[in-house]
Amino acid sequence: MKSRENDASLKNRRRRILVNLRERGISAVLAACLLAAGISGCGNGGTPTETTGQAAAETTAQEAAAERTGQAASDAAQDAAAETADRNAPDAASNAAAETAGQEETAAQETESSAQAEEQEAISYMFDASEMTTTGKVKLDHSIEGYTGEGYLTGFEDENDGCSFTVDVPYSGSFDIHVVSAGLGGEKINDIQVDGTTVGTFTTKDETFGESVLRRVYLEAGEHSIGVHKNWGWIALDSMTFASAERLPDSTFEVEPVLINPNASQSAVNLMKYLTSIYGEYTLSGQQADNGTASPEMIAIKNATGGKQPAILGLDLMNYSPSFASHGAVGKSIEQAIEYDKLGGIVTFCWHWGAPEKYAKSGAAWYRTFYADSTDIDLAAIMDGSDEEGYALLLDDIDVIAEQLKILQDADVPVLFRPLHEASGGWFWWGAAGPEPCKELWKLLYDRLTNVHGLNNLIWVWNGQAADWYPGDEYVDIIGEDIYPGNYVYSSQSGKFAEAVEYPDHYPETAKIVALSENGCFFDPDLAWRDQAPWAWFCTWSGEFVAQNGYNKLSGKYTEDYMVEKVYNHERVITLDELPDWKSGEN
């Protein structure tokens, strides 16, 4: 295992080189390839040796000069080699570089593979419902109008219900999977599987046939089974199309370090600068932990990874909700946030907002009143002025939370603030009335906390999870996605990443950072960079998603131990000990 000092110093050198390359106009992918070549091309004392890495550096520099930025790429390659050669501790640095050389060579090979895939002739194969193999109760039907072929498939009701087709993929690369379907009874979400493994989901919007796309699914050349598996079920499936995917433009990862609040605190500004400086190159590790550093999740991770801790601590404002506090709930997360900030960490807050007590359903447990099925709240009536009392009650709740966030502001703690999360799912009361009332509530929250309470330490992370719920660029700093793909699903979730990057109003001219704001199992960083899905951070949920109940040990229920160790020690993943002094502006 690499030492923490060598690990952190090597990563810091790589970050400086990457920033230099990016400032010269080199794309994120090419910069990573140049850097990989420069690092692995140095032997003891920084002397170039006849290695695969050196050959890759020469080839990459030539290609860059011919295809990208001419002499700038050549100069950048020389600068990268010079910086990696100039080391105060040659032996230690050489050992650290040797340990990462395998990963970097793999990354370079995958970059080359992706470039080759771009040069291949685009493919597109459509499969009608009648051409698919079915399982369970799925069968061909004709009673709904609007299908395009010989019928559509229905009967997606139980766990074993599904359909699939087989395709011979001519080359390795990323592909889009299009699904034309109609919902039986409204909006539905179902799984797309490749070779029996869920790689993403698609949403059927309504009861008329329409298209959904799962983008950028990476497949090796060869034969694969692709199909739909019941999640919510209850759809009519008309057809599926398998087609070549386009690469995300470089501008996706070139985000300006500007916050929507023009009066943002200096520490919030510096945090945003840091996040944008590493976006596309590194992922910040994160963990939701209700009891901060004393949580079983944090202890289990530390024990399993050689002392590593996440760069980001996830916390919840739930117990500060007036309807929770009235039943004796006591919030402790503000103190935990201050403690983690003192350690040099970053904090993010969600808010499971318990609805005002007036709206709790009879017999509903008070600790479930953030769920729509436990409340009678009508957000549409509140936001259009029909329910004036309800509007006043929401303002009261916001004001209570503002007082807690002010404590963090006074302690100079910037917050990745993620309220109204997962709204489009409809399971929380703030999403149950549809997108428009929720967007209005988001804007109210921003205005009340920013302009009335003067909270300038918040970086606004929007987590609505669907394009029609997006409140507009002027109300969003960062986009978050919450993904729970199941057990031991280590795929990059590139389809959702590719969807989320397009939410901003003027993409691709202007882009927003995209983070995995909640996850069940871990993703494999190697797959994330192969698939152009470099999430800004991940934040694994608490409980059995990481730790055994009642024990400070990894649970292994959703992520195997080896993957936890791999992720926390990965070259592309930043942990607490590797964070720079971002609050003072160091990147």
Residues assigned a catalytic role: 422, 518
Rg (CA), the chain: 25
Q: By the 8 A CB rule, do 197 and 489 touch? A: yes
According to DSSP, the β-strands at 415-418 and 458-462 are parallel
**Cα–Cα dist 273/583, whole Å:** 10
Three state DSSP letters for 500-517: HCCCCCCCCCCCCEEEEE
Q: Cα separation of 533 and 306, whole Å?
A: 27
DSSP tag of 32: H
Half-sphere exposure of residue 391, counting CA atoms within 13 Å on the CB side? 13
Q: What residues contact 444, with CB distance under 8 A and at least 6 apart?
A: 383, 394, 398
Cα–Cα distance between 364 and 359 in angstroms, integer? 10
Cα–Cα nearest to 308, from 546, 581, 586: 546
Distance CA 336, CA 566 (A): 27
Cβ(490)–Cβ(231) under 8 Å?
Answer: no
> Whole-angstrom Cα distance, residue 53 to residue 97?
11
Contact present, 39 and 101 (Cβ < 8 Å): yes
Consecutive H or E run containing 154:
strand 152-154
Q: Do 463 and 418 touch, CB atoms closer than 8 A?
A: yes
Report CA torsion sign: 286, 288, 291, 294: negative
- Scored b (16 or more CB within 10 A) or e, 175-188 reads bbbbbbbbbbeeeb
C-beta separation of 424 from 464 below 8 A: yes
- 46 alpha carbon, distance to own chain's centre: 36
Closest CA to 315 of 517, 573, 556, 512: 517
- Rounded CA gap, 181 and 208, in Å? 8
CA distance 574 to 280: 13
Determine contact, residues 123/244, Cβ cutoff 8 Å.
yes
Cβ–Cβ under 8 Å, residues 525 and 567: yes
